[in-house]
Amino acid sequence: MSDTRIANVRAWQAFDSRGRPTVGCRVELASGAHGSVVVPSGASTGTHEVHELRDRAAQFNGMGVLAAVANAEGELARAVSGLDARDQHMVDAALRSADGTENLSVLGANAVLAISLGSAIASADHARRPLYETLVGAEDPLLPLPMVNIVSGGAHAGWSVDVQDVLVVPVGATSFEQAIEWSWGVRFAAEAIFTRSGWNAALVADEGGLSGNPSSNREMLHVVVDAIEQAGLVPGRDVAIAIDVAATQLLTDDGSYHLRAEGRTLTAGELVTEIDGWAQEFPLVSIEDPLGEDDWVTWSEATRRLAGRQIVGDDLFATSESRLATGVARGAANAILVKPNQNGTVSGAHDVLVAARSERYATVVSARSGDTEDAWLADLAVGWRAGQIKVGSLTRSERTGKWNRLLEIERCHAGCEFAGAAALGS
């Protein structure tokens, strides 16, 4: 066991894909094995997520993370020193105990996650095995069905339209390679549509999706359907559509939802009716965050009304076991987005995923809008057998790094099964 003890933690101020400071970290074991990571950060963050620690000083307009870096190398490093990196729950429990708050606001969730992930990667390095193989246990690894961003709005694209993301889901694909090839065809067909329409196809959002030109949410959906057809695929049969409404970002103080790009304000019920109309008109198989993060009553109603489709809770659940339990009790959603940096630790995020699967909720491992070039998320999705992954588009290296890792795993791990459309919740 002594070889796998955590011997040293080094941390530094790095940058995410939006150019904002974030925490980089290297965890070193007594054996000389190590794990390095640069943690991501979200733009449309929910209030129930764990809290990043920012310096709020003049440097980087208050976005610096030097205090979090110091905490990683100081109090958090001391908390895990000498612990066996193979015992992820023990390492993560020590990190949480050192912070002492549920939302990790004292020492910083960004610092905590960096050490948690670094430990997992170092343990895999010591074993000389891919990270996903150290996570899968007695089961076989599972390649996830991808959701690929095509057109973006909301907080990811300067509110050009209100829906945050329109994505494609290659439901007819029989391999991950085919799924990515089909998604690529749709992404670049959509770019051609933008160009022919006189729109600026060079404008891309935080996650690499096209942005800035469709005049309404419905037009954005039409563009994606047209792109599926122009890629030589059949909408609904080969490739379907997913949307991330990110409705918490649309919520006003009086409980209504303001579609600022369209100049309309809707009640919760009217918003559900609007989304239901899209679902009837377009091959929509997955709907993320159709309502605000605390509107449990309407969430439950929407889940019943939109039955037969995957209804995903992101801000609603915030990768929290307690919030997931509330959703299960209320019949809210049938799927959950799992984001390690919403929860703060690797084992905590995995525990949420396991709890969701036990309740027959579909699980989608997800990147963040401010992500990094690291590819560990792909390994988590495969090793945890999540079934689905949402990374962004097929441009920008912080996105393609994850897709490329999944293509590598498919090629190099003989017989690794592809989840396909069966992974979708309904």
Q: Which pLDDT score is estimated for 260?
A: 85
Same domain for 74 and 175, yes or no, is no
Q: Which of 293, 339, 390, 398 is catalytic?
A: 339
* Euclidean distance between CA atoms 20 and 85, whole angstroms: 29
- With respect to residue 363, please indicate whether it lies within any of the assigned structural domains: yes
Same domain for 354 and 390, yes or no, is yes
Q: Which pLDDT score is estimated for 2?
A: 66
Q: Is 207 a catalytic residue?
A: yes
- Point out the domain boundary residue: 82, 103, 128: 128
Same domain for 207 and 155, yes or no, is yes
Same domain for 274 and 156, yes or no, is yes
Q: Is 339 a catalytic residue?
A: yes
- With respect to residue 136, please indicate whether it lies within any of the assigned structural domains: no
Same domain for 47 and 121, yes or no, is yes
Residue 60 DSSP label:
G
Amino acid letter, 126: H
Helices (H), 152-290: 176-196, 217-230, 268-281
- With respect to residue 217, please indicate whether it lies within any of the assigned structural domains: yes
* Euclidean distance between CA atoms 87 and 105, whole angstroms: 24
Kindly report the backbone phi and psi dihedral angles of residue 256, in degrees, each rounded to the nearest multiple of 5, phi listed first: -90, 175
Q: For tokens 């039955």, what's the residue? A: 307
Q: Which pLDDT score is estimated for 9?
A: 98
* Euclidean distance between CA atoms 424 and 426, whole angstroms: 7
- Point out the domain boundary residue: 128, 156, 175: 128
Same domain for 105 and 152, yes or no, is no
Q: Which pLDDT score is estimated for 47?
A: 82
Same domain for 52 and 150, yes or no, is no
Domain count, the chain: 2
The CATH number of residue 73's host domain is 3.30.390.10
Q: Which two tokens stand for residue 319?
A: 């990768």
Residues 6+ apart with CB under 8 A from 358: none
Q: Is 56 left (phi over 0), alpha (psi -120 to 50) or beta?
A: left
- Point out the domain boundary residue: 128, 154, 183: 128
Same domain for 375 and 243, yes or no, is yes
The CATH number of residue 288's host domain is 3.20.20.120
Domain that holds residue 187: 142-423
Q: Which of 207, 274, 288, 410 is catalytic?
A: 207
| Per-residue burial over 32-49, b = 16 or more CB atoms within 10 Å of its CB, e = otherwise | ebbbbbbbbbbbbbbebb
- With respect to residue 41, please indicate whether it lies within any of the assigned structural domains: yes
- 308-362: pLDDT as tens digits: 999 999 999 999 999 999 999 999 999 999 999 999 999 999 999 999 999 999 9
Residues 6+ apart with CB under 8 A from 396: 17, 204, 207, 208
- 43-70: pLDDT as tens digits: 556 688 999 999 988 899 999 999 999 9
pLDDT beneath 70, residues of the chain: 1-2, 42-46, 155-159
